[in-house]
Amino acid sequence: MVETVETYDGWSSLHDFRTMNWEKWQQLTNERKGSLLNELHTAIKQWEHTVEEKEGSHAIYTIAGSKADLMFMILRPEIKDIIDWKTKFNKLEIAHLLEPKASFVSIIEKSSYTKPETDPYHNPEMLKKLYPQIPSEEYICFYPMSKLRGEINNWFTLEKNDRGRMMFDHIKTAKPFTEKVKRIITGAIGLDDYEWGVSLFCNDPLQFKKLIYDTRFDEVSAKYGIFGSFYIGHRLHPEKINSYFL
């Protein structure tokens, strides 16, 4: 049996994509629109309380292209808390106009191909990665991915040392972008259709293109990477919500 790699796991994650029914929205009176937006702002204030209690994080993004209109990225301690967030959100009246388009459920994950010197769960730097606040950068690039299980090239039949070598090469290629592009990696094996989710954050979306282009030439991506749909979003701050809808 091929040796697996140990993972260290943190908060549960939900990427929730919605499409706005603008036709129904435009049929509402201004008073009704105001009421729905006030309800949404109240919900966001409750989410902020979760942040203050250090029990999660959240962000809303407007999505480029026609795959969706909005994306809600939610981090919570457990999957049950993700379900609770979704249930409460769907009970909002404005959610009746925000039709579900896609979603991705996963758990923040850090893997190690080398034995750590200290317990990762007692390492302050590792804890920041496992239980982070969503970066404040203006843009997000999210995509799900899996590793190939082909008849000839199969990631899951490679020896651990070979997988580790390719992953270290991959990290080396991405290192020049570290200052400009932040990331949150989530594992979804057994939780969703793809095996991992990648969330990249920066203030210049051109950097997404440059980073992903460069890493495409790594052996791990070129030979073993399987990618889902890419979503590019711009952060929708609470004070901008009314202008977005109105």
**Mean local confidence (pLDDT), 221-236:** 97
Residue 202: pLDDT band by 50, 70, 90 thresholds?
A: very high
| pTM (global) more than 0.85 | yes
Per-residue pLDDT reduced to its tens digit, 57-109: 999 999 999 999 999 999 999 999 999 999 999 999 999 999 999 999 999 99
167 Cβ contact partners less than 8 Å away, ≥ 6 residues apart = 111, 113, 220
Three-state SS across the chain? CCCCCEEEEEEEEEEEEEEECHHHHHCCCHHHHHHHHHHHHHHHHHHHHHHHCCCCEEEEEEECCCCCCEEEEEEECCHHHHHHHHHHHHCCHHHHCEEEEEEEEEEEEEEECCCCCCCHHHCHHHHHHHCCCCCCCCEEEEEEEEECECCCCEHHHCCHHHHHHHHHHHHHHHHHHCCCCEEEEEECCCCCCCCEEEEEEECCCHHHHHHHHHHHCCHHHHHHEEECCCEEEEECCHHHHHHHHC
Residue 225: is its pLDDT beyond 90?
yes
Residue 1: pLDDT band by 50, 70, 90 thresholds?
A: confident
Catalytic residues: 143
Overall fold of domain 6-245: Alpha-Beta Plaits (3.30.70)
Q: Can you give the residue ranges of every domain in the chain? A: 6-245
Per-residue pLDDT reduced to its tens digit, 29-55: 999 999 999 999 999 999 999 999 999
